[in-house]
Every structure is written in structure tokens, then in C-alpha cells.
Amino acid sequence: MEKLKSVNEDKPISNFYTKPLFEDKEHQVKLHAIKIKSTARFFEIFDWMIISFFIYAAVNYFLGNWSFTFHPAYFFIVGLVICQTLIYHRFFYDNILKKNADIALDIDITFILLMLISVAELFGGITSPFIFIFFLCLGITVFFFYPYAVPVFLVFELAVIYITASIDLNQANFISNYPVWFRWEIILLATFGALFFAISAIYYRQGEERDKLEEVVSKLVAEKVKGEVVLQSMSDGVFVVDREKRLIFLNEAAEKILKVSKEQGEHFLGHFYGNIFKLRINNKEIDYTKDCPLQIAIAEGKSIFRDDLSLINLSNKTLYITLSSAPVVDASGNAQGAVAIIRDVTKEKEIERIQMEFVSIASHELLTPITQVQGHLSMIVDENIGEVDDTASNIVSNAYKGIKRIARLVRDLMNVSRIQRGSMKMNIVPVDMNSLLENAAKDFQDEAKSNDLQLIFEKPQKPVSEALGDPDRLGEVINNFIGNAIKFTKKGKIVLSVSEKRDGSIEVSVQDTGIGIEKENFDKVFDKFYQVDSSATREAQGTGLGLYISKVIVEMMNGKIWVESKLGKGSRFCFTLPKVINKIS
């Protein structure tokens, strides 16, 4: 694919791109008119040469140097030259040229054809070899006029022959002395007229098809160039590959990301794109046959977005990137390649890393005094250090709830920091989900009662196998589910349950009779910092981190997490974990 700009800014762009692909019709008509006008100058020079010749001949005739018989064709030729040069070109040509340049040219060609016929008649017409000029004129009409101009001009030539024969004794005698020869000349002229008419019809039809094809090609090339101009002007890197993942286009932004010159970029065109785009996941080179986003886009015909990739450029520097790829399809809908947009997010990642480090340090520093305050307030609330009056009890109780919320926020921030840094560890062991849920129900019983809610743990009718997971992390997930259920349920009950599925997984669910969630928000509730926009969520207060952390924890244990809900009727949050097949495993 051609490049849009030259290597140096001061050098002109290739002639291919300087063609008037984007000019409007009016400008194209003006260019065509300029070409026609330059042809008219040639005709004027030709006319003045004829005028000069006749003036020279007249002078020599009157001086007695030349002697010749006057023929009407002399006057006809002089009249045509005067009409073309002094009348048509001086008074009518420019106006006709502005309206239709082709008609202006056709009139000039008509003048020339009439002059040629006059010259043929001047040198004997049908009685001389100059009869070939009649055939030549018919041939010229093929390329400059519509097909029907050929028979019209043939009729005109026949009329000229018969009119001239009536006033020229030599031609009249030729016809009477050689009638057979004259008849064959007429037959031959008519035959050539029919042949030229057929040729003209074919030529005209092909010309129309050629014009249509050129228009289509011009539009396609224009669209191609426009597309490349847009791609080259993008600040994000863009590259295109074919079905074999060979690089066929690379814009300037991509070259800057890769730290390659234009010459180097052009060298990589036609080669496997992995030779220049050294993509990595978790500091390991990707498998271009399985994990390659462009291969997936081509094979599955869908757009792919990845934000977990890094790239090593030609300066051997590692960059963090986002990559969006989409298939390039033909008219039949078949993928013929893929286009990808890459963005260097190394600075953003570095800023995010610094923020996470700050959050991690701050959270650790805050957690210790918060835990101490929470413990002291808990002792006062439980009246372990003596009785307090009702006013003080309410104040301490509110302070205790506030410090618990702050402690939960700090723990959530610490978990997010661990997730972002990839330092969250899992201690995978067999877990009795019955005991875990039963203990969680006891822990939240008082909070549920204070909100006039029933918190029920439905023990399974059949024994449930142990699940594989981290009990501490699973406790966080269950606590998040129950805490959200209490916050978003005004009345009714919250039911905890566990069951063993046929596919060999253990399913845990927390079902409430709360406000519910709209279907389009099912996936969003597990996004970081996402909160459904409603008065209930604003009243409940929260960070939008709990479900995000829960999703990460469950998926790190090879489980699945989802929500089932009906707006106004309640929600059911579930997750599954693989079960323990035997104690050894």
C-alpha cells in the first residue's frame, strides 16, 4: 500500500496523490476546456498557414509567375478558413467552450473535414487518387462524433460528389466514360461508411463503458486515499494485516510507537506482523496462533479489545498498550484481514501504579489505628467496660458503625491494590461451604434484625461436597453478598443456600427481596466503582468495589459469578466453585 507522504516534509508527494481525485465537477470541466482550447490554437495556426499560402499564390498569379484555372473549391476553402479563424474563434468559440467544450471541438473538426473534402475536389475528386480523402474523413468521424454522424457525413459526401459533377466537366466526363468505375467508387465509399458506422458504434459503447469504469476507479482510489489520509492523521497507531497476518499498512503513529523509520516500516510490509509487533502477556511472548487478537478477529469475524498486552519496540523498550482489532471483510462478508489500533498507555500505567502504591501504603498505615478504634468502640457498645447512658450509647453506636464502614473501605482499597499489582495470593484448600455460610448468617444476624429483616440459612437436604477455595477470601465474597442484600432490602428476607450441581461444581447463592437490578446492568454491577444510579443506592452508600473484588476472587479460584434479578422483586447473587473430588486432590 502506497505511503501518503514522502520521507522528508520538504519533498513533494508522489504524482499518484497529486492527481485531481478530490476536485469537483466544475473544476474538472475547466481542466478539460483548457485542453480543448490548446487544440484550437493548433487549428488557428493551420488556418493561417492556408491563408498565407493562398495570399502567396494570388501574388504570384498576378505577377505572372503562376498560372492555374480557378476552381470553386478555392473560394470554398478560403471561406471556411475565414469563418473558422476570424468569425467562429473570435466571436462564438469562448461562449460555446464555457457551455460545452466537446461541441466547440466538434465544430473545429467539422471545419477541418470540410476543408479536406474541398482539397480533394480541388485535385480532381473522384477522377483522381485524392478520392481517398473521402474515406479518411469518414474514418475521422468515427473518433470525434457520435455513430450517427458517419451516415450523415456519407450522405453529405455523396451530395458533394454529384453537385461537383454537375459543375465540373472533367468529373462529368469521367462519370459518363467510366460508369462502372464510378459505380464501384460509390459502392466502396458506401461500404466503408457502413463499416465505419459499425466501428463507431462499438467505439462509442466502449468509450461509455470506459468512462464509467474510470469514474468507478477514480472514486475507489479517492476513497482509498481519503481513508489513508484519515488513518495517517490519527494519533493512535494503526496497522492492517491480510489473512496470513502479513503487514500491509502502517501509519506514522504506529511507526513512532515502534521506533522505526519510514524506510524500516516499508521494509516490514509484506512480512509477518509479529516480526515488528512483539506482543507479550504477563512478560511472556503471546502465542500468535491462539492469543493473537488479529487472528481471533479474522477467524471469528468480531472485534476484539485487549488492555493486558505489552510490546517491545525496536529500541528494546517495553511499552504497555491497548489493542483494538476488527476484521476487514469483502462484499461477501468474508474476512480478508484485520485492522488494529494500538495506544501507548505506559504513562497511564505508571501513574496508576504510583496511585496503587500510595493507596496500599496509606491503607496499611490507616488499618492499624482504625482496628484499634473499632475494637475499643466494640467494647463500649457491648458494655464490656461498664454501662453508658442512652445518649452516649447512641453516639458510640453510630461511631462504631462509621468506623466499621471505614475499615471495610480500607480493606477494599487494599484488595484492589493487591489485584492491580497481581499480589493477591490464594490458599486453595477444601472448604466446607455449609459451615462458612452458617457462620456468616450468625455474624450478620444482629444487623439483619436491626433492619427488620429475616436472615435465613437453608441447609441442604443432601450432603454437599467440599469446594476448592480460599476460606478467608470466600468469607469476604459471602460477606459482600450479605452486606449488599441488607443495604438494598427494605423488608422481607435474605436466604443463603448451597447446593451441588450435576456438572461437579458447588453453587452458593444469596437471595433477597430488595429493589432488584435492571437486566442491562447485570454485567456492570461487577465493574470497579460501578453503582446503579438510584435513590436506594445513594441512601445505602458504598464504594462500588465489593462486587468487583468478589468477581476477581471467585475467578482466581476457577469459579463463575453472576446475578439473577427482577426489578422491584429482588436479586439472587451466585457463584460456583469446583468441588473436591477426593481428599488427596
pLDDT digits (tens, 9 = 90+) for 185-206: 788 888 887 887 888 788 778 8
* pLDDT value at residue 485: 92
CATH topology of domain 234-345: Beta-Lactamase (3.30.450)
- Locus of grid cell 510507537: 257
Q: CB-hemisphere CA count at 13 Å for 105?
A: 15
Place of cell 441447609: 459
Biggest distance spanned by C-alpha atoms of the chain: 152
pLDDT at 536 exceeding the cut of 80? no
Each residue of 216-231: pLDDT tens digit?
777 777 776 776 676 6
More confident residue, 67 or 527: 527
The mean pLDDT value for 502-512 works out to 92
Q: What's the pLDDT at 386?
A: 62
Average pLDDT, the chain: 79
d(CA 544, CA 465): 32
Residue 26: what pLDDT? Answer: 67
Cell numbers placing 464: 454437599
pLDDT at 67: 67
Q: Is the pLDDT of residue 250 over 60?
A: yes
Whether the predicted pLDDT of 407 surpasses 80: no
- pLDDT tops 90 at residue 512: yes
- Tens digits of per-residue pLDDT, 144-157? 777 777 788 778 77
Average pLDDT for residues 506-531, to the nearest whole number?
88
Long-range contacts of 378-382 (CB under 8 A, 24+ apart): none
- pLDDT for the residue numbered 509: 94
**Is the full-model pTM beyond 0.85?**
no
* Close Cβ partners of 459 (under 8 Å, ≥ 6 residues apart): 434, 438
Kindly provide the residue ranges of all beta strands, DSSP E only, lying in 478-568, ordered along the sequence. 492-500, 505-512, 560-566
CA 280, 285, 291 angle in degrees (round to 5)? 80
> Does 80 or 124 have the greater pLDDT score?
80
Residue 526 CB partners (closer than 8 Å, separation 6+): 547, 548, 550, 551, 561, 563
What pLDDT was estimated at residue 582? 57
pLDDT for position 555 = 92
Give the residue among 146, 139, 141 at the shortest CA–CA distance from 205. Answer: 146
Angle between helices 346-381 and 390-421 (to 10 degrees): 150
Where does the pLDDT of residue 482 fall: very low under 50, low under 70, confident under 90, or very high at 90 and above? very high
| Class of residue 223 by CB neighbours under 10 A (exposed 0-12, middle 13-18, buried 19+) | exposed
Could you give the CA distance from residue 585 to residue 581 in angstroms, rounded to a whole number?
A: 7
**What does the pLDDT look like over 293-323, one tens digit per residue?**
888 888 888 888 888 888 888 888 888 888 8
The CATH fold assigned to 429-578 is Heat Shock Protein 90 (3.30.565)
- Over the stretch 269-290, which tens digit does the pLDDT of each residue have? 888 888 888 888 877 888 887 7
Amino acid residing at 404: K
Domain range summary for the chain, segments of one domain joined by +: 68-167+186-208, 234-345, 350-421, 429-578
Q: Which residues contact 132 (CB under 8 A, 6 or more apart)?
A: none
Please say if the pLDDT value at position 13 is more than 70. Answer: no
Q: pLDDT by residue (tens digit) across 359-368? A: 667 666 776 7
